[in-house]
Amino acid sequence: MRAVVQRVAEASVRVDGREVARIGRGFLVLAGFSRADTPATIAWTARKVASLRVFEDQSGRMALSLEAVDGHVLIVSQFTLYGDVGKGARPSFDDSAPPDAARALYDDFVAALRAALPERVHTGEFQAAMQVSLVNDGPVTILVEKEAP
């Protein structure tokens, strides 16, 4: 699993012209799933995202967690995170989980984050064409990746 975690001042998702989710301070998480992902890789990634300490404390040091700053998470599924451009200019998505498997992994990831961060997790719409808006804070972008065994 790959999760691109962006620290944001705000973020939102629109589908077909309607806003489906909006957060203030927190994380926008672009989540991609591979064919090899297991429940263990999903659980590990969710724990890692929930516990990241990338918000600045009073001394300007990245030391505070999402919970410490009363932040929220907006999760957006992004199968293109497994796009491979090693050969040619058109990406291959052979390593991306197929839609049905990806949906189950996505649901597990959302559930794990909701268990760790009750009332703080919001989502886009799986497999929808989404317009994502964000205001990066920093910017701070962290790649959280766990290779499946």
> Domains in the chain, please, with CATH?
2-145 (3.50.80.10)
Active site annotation includes 55? no
User: Measured between alpha carbons, how far is 88 from 47 in angstroms, rounded to an integer?
Assistant: 36
Determine which one of 27, 79, 109, 123 is catalytic: 79
Mean pLDDT calculated for residue range 68-85: 96
Could you give the percent of the chain with pLDDT greater than 70? 99
79 is catalytic: yes
pLDDT at 19 over 90: yes
Q: Is 102 helix (H, G, I), strand (E, B) or coil?
A: helix
Alpha helices by DSSP H, listed for the chain, are 39-51, 99-116
For residue 99 the two structure tokens come to: 């839609």
Structure tokens at 74: 């907006």
Instruction: Please confirm, yes or no, whether 78 is among the known catalytic residues.
Output: yes
Average pLDDT over residues 122-130: 96
